[in-house]
Amino acid sequence: MIDLTGKSALVTGGSRGIGRAIALRLATQGADVAFSYRGNEAAAKETAAAIEALGRRALPVQADVSDPAAADTLVKTALEAFGKIDILVNNAGVTRDDLIMRMSLDDWRTVLETNLFGAFYVIKAVTRPMLKAKGGRIINITSVSGQAGQIGQANYSSAKAGLIGLTKATARELASRGITSNAVAPGFVLTELTQDLPENLMKQLTDATPLGRFGTTEEIASAVAFLASDEAAFITGQILGVDGGLVMM
């Protein structure tokens, strides 16, 4: 049984999709959860209410993590509310898909700044309090796109590949103080974004996945909860694929 009682977590991009499932799973296992959201206040309020219904404290914070000042403020707000951050999950991400020759510089920059720079800013802000506490769990949500590359996703694949390097560098830097850094690499997952894909594309994607189906947000959240727990205390610098066998490294 994964027990996170007494732990405080911060999840970026936690109001919807995979981020929401992660926030709820951490709360289910006993953690208080702060989470950032960019614009959808209604979704943030609903997620906060669901966390509180589980008997845990919830703290929704509007913040765009691609802004380093906002990332700093996000961490400070969580620290003020909970007194500590035991678990950081970098989940905030955007996509701006296009072929390289057509991709605008703005779309390149936006995806890198949110998905990779944003994770760096939040890790940087949380490092000092975790070092003082002599412990912590950092979990970054990367993607099979960062492992294998994806047509039309040069920006997203680059950001997610960069997140893998950031995960490993963070693991090496912070290991001596009992802080672990790992990543979860989802495959094709059923979310609000993917449920409306054309049927022929859904079949292509499931055919490419050895287990023959899409994953669920709860399955990604289960992997995160494990890496956040004491059960994973001797695991660091690892990329855990939760992808139905799509990418076998």
In whole angstroms, what is the distance from residue 13 CA to residue 77 CA? 15
Q: Which two tokens stand for residue 224?
A: 């995160």
Q: Would you call 202 helix, strand, or coil by DSSP?
A: helix
Task: Return the amino acid letter for 32.
Answer: D
DSSP output for 58-104: EEEEE--TTSHHHHHHHHHHHHHHHS---EEEE-------B-TTT--
DSSP element (H, E) containing 179: strand 179-186
Q: Residue 37 catalytic?
A: no
CB 126 within 8 A of CB 136: yes
> Are 207 and 180 contacting, i.e. CB atoms less than 8 angstroms apart?
no
Q: Please list the residues that pair with 186 across neighbouring strands.
A: 242
Catalytic residue among 35, 117, 121, 156: 156
Contact 90, 181 (CB under 8 A): no
Torsion region of 83: left, alpha or beta (phi above 0 gives left; psi -120 to 50 gives alpha)? left
The residues annotated with a catalytic role in the active site are: 156
